[in-house]
Chain A
């Protein structure tokens, strides 16, 4: 029995490794085939060109150039290789960020993307970056899990001559990257505060008693959104009853809100969730506590991120306003890479364009630090276009 079991296990392992082997060799074969085809095409073009050399030199040169361009676009050698060390996939936002990179840096667009999901393990992320250096990729994209401890790794990248582009979260203890592409979390937090002020004035709500379900403590999104909202709250003299972390997860939001409903029963009229997943959890908890929320009800629910599912809840009249944190960094990163390819120097900090979503009744005019903001009405088209 024991022997049988061991045998089965071993053979299963063998089959798995064979499959893996087949998989990779198939891929290499395909790549080799593709390369061969391109070479053939180039040869053909060159031969044709030679045959017709007397008749039309220019046309032949064009053909060669075309063939060369084809070769550049589809063979392995000509593609721009990119290593992307992603945080993990803790939320829809993260998933959208990953998908954006996979879509933009696809083979069809002339890129080879090595993607590593670091599963929120900071050591694994640094290892991933080192493996990119060994692979000799052309560019490295990092979404740093934590802000510190990067100088050594980034120096290695610099020594290897590989430009690093940081997205979303920030690196505090090193400036050895060419550009950072991301959101201004402080602005997002301020936007939520300024919107609430304008909306409360319109509705004639005199007193604001807010409960905050914050993100993972210490994450730059948590710090920016907390600080931004608190700045407006302090200025307007609002009460923030409590702020506890829901770790950016639905389960966390559920448990914290469940407790809030008991501790501050009937005392709060605003709930701020620092991402949509926490808002989903908070909604379940408020449903189970008999608290009515959303437009037209006692409790104003504010959320951040504005993922598709979040916008659907805005449309359904559950979330009062949703403040976007644009995950689609890839097009902006591609812009930076194009600038580098052309020998230009990109901006060190690239802020992405972001939208503030609500239903028409909740749309009010407000401004952040003097800059007037326009809100976007949530319609089915907007939801369909969202990540």
Chain B
């Protein structure tokens, strides 16, 4: 009982439960249709002609396809914590960074190529620099000009995709090159996006753990004025959070465009800003800023992908899928809402009291 209470008070308890519940649907479905109840969770090795021996299974799909949202969720968590607002431009910035990178790799005006015009590393750097510039732009508006985050990032939300179109000369730019495709394919048996996401998460967690940056960002989010008086440079910290968010948008853009070895500026990162914000919320973080839990956001990101993959696995028609997604999200958000949690606590307290009376 004591350990159970301990588990229940663990901050990641509810996000993890939500993820497990989504996965459990598949066990029920598989058992009901008469196939192996755990077939959804099976991971096997498979020989392919193009990528050698690779890991294969739905769980791998979830972790692989969830990479972009997980990467975005890191930056979004920091932004939400520091500025009590969301960066709604990340999806468009992803697209802009991908377009800029592919434009550099293919050369301006070229729509399809198999050879790289500049070394791959230059292309990647261009994407990263573009992401940082976008982040700095948002950061300046929010931190130094005190514009509300949603309004400030609305500018790039609508403009970045259009700039991407200009850079790509209104074309889908194909860079069908194996070294570029590697980023979205497989490194040995493991999908490369999973490795990239893991590196991002590890680096950020280490920085937050080993330095006081995490604490600074939280304190700025809780009370910017008090933090400033206490000697923190609030503006710089908020600016930094947006820069990082731009950086992670660039990395997500690189992954997304490498998967399809092209810059499809109309579709890369479409609606992903909403998924990133949702993963922060699903992770049990308050969108009002302040304290944050990075692990929660990441679990939230994979929960969203788990819902998508589950709906595919259940064969729900694509017209109805958004409805199911909405219902599941509402359920999760309700379960995690503070009044609901308080209600559950009261219930269990009442039960405990009743037990005490009987005894």
Q: How far is the CB of A168 from chain B (nearest CB, A)?
A: 16
19 contacts between A and B (CB under 8 A): A88-B266, A89-B165, A89-B171, A90-B266, A95-B172, A117-B165, A119-B165, A119-B266, A249-B260, A249-B264, A259-B61, A259-B312, A262-B58, A263-B312, A263-B315, A281-B260, A287-B51, A288-B48, A309-B112
Q: How far is the CB of B24 from chain A (nearest CB, A)?
A: 18
Q: Which 10 A-B pairs have the closest CB atoms?
A: A259-B312, A245-B318, A250-B260, A287-B50, A244-B318, A290-B48, A249-B267, A90-B266, A290-B46, A89-B170
Chain A-chain B contacts (Cβ-Cβ < 8 Å), number: 89
Q: How far is the CA of A277 from the CA of B186 in the complex (A)?
A: 21
Residues of B within 8 A of A (CB): 46-51, 54, 56-58, 61, 65, 111-112, 140, 144, 161-162, 165, 170-172, 174, 186, 256, 259-260, 262, 264, 266-268, 309, 312-313, 315, 317-319
CB pair A5–B172 under 8 Å, yes or no, is: no
Q: How far is the CB of B290 from chain A (nearest CB, A)?
A: 27
CB pair B172–A287 under 8 Å, yes or no, is: no
Given contacts A119-B161, A288-B51, 19 further A-B contacts (CB under 8 A): A89-B165, A91-B172, A95-B171, A98-B170, A244-B317, A244-B318, A245-B318, A251-B264, A259-B58, A259-B61, A262-B313, A287-B50, A288-B48, A288-B56, A289-B46, A289-B48, A289-B56, A290-B46, A309-B174
CB pair A5–B140 under 8 Å, yes or no, is: yes
CB pair A90–B315 under 8 Å, yes or no, is: no
Q: A251-B260, A251-B264, A258-B61 are in contact. Are A290 and B312 (CB under 8 A)?
A: no
> Which residues in chain A, 59-116, are within 8 Å of chain B measured between CB atoms?
88-92, 95, 98
* A interface residue count range (under 10 / 10 to 19 / 20 to 34 / 35 or more): 35 or more
Q: How far is the CB of B188 from chain A (nearest CB, A)?
A: 14
A242 within 8 Å of B (CB atoms):
yes
Cβ-defined partner of B266 (8 Å) among A89, A242, A244, A288 = A89
Of all chain A residues, the one with the shortest Cβ separation from B174 is A309
Q: A256-B312, A289-B56 are in contact. Are A251 and B50 (CB under 8 A)?
A: no
Q: How far is the CA of A95 from the CA of B47 in the complex (A)?
A: 37
CB pair B260–A259 under 8 Å, yes or no, is: no
Interface centre among A88, A92, A290 (most CB of B within 10 A): A290
CB pair B259–A254 under 8 Å, yes or no, is: yes
A235 within 8 Å of B (CB atoms):
no
CB pair A247–B267 under 8 Å, yes or no, is: yes
Q: How far is the CA of A92 from the CA of B263 in the complex (A)?
A: 12
CB pair B266–A92 under 8 Å, yes or no, is: no
Q: How far is the CA of A262 from the CA of B55 in the complex (A)?
A: 13
Q: How far is the CA of A2 from the CA of B239 in the complex (A)?
A: 13
Q: How far is the CB of A308 from chain B (nearest CB, A)?
A: 8
CB pair A95–B58 under 8 Å, yes or no, is: no
Q: How far is the CA of A119 from the CA of B267 in the complex (A)?
A: 10
> Which residues in chain A, 325-366, are within 8 Å of chain B measured between CB atoms?
none
Q: How far is the CA of A9 from the CA of B20 in the complex (A)?
A: 49
> Which residues in chain A, 115-146, are within 8 Å of chain B measured between CB atoms?
117, 119-120
Q: How far is the CA of A217 from the CA of B38 in the complex (A)?
A: 32
CB pair B319–A217 under 8 Å, yes or no, is: yes
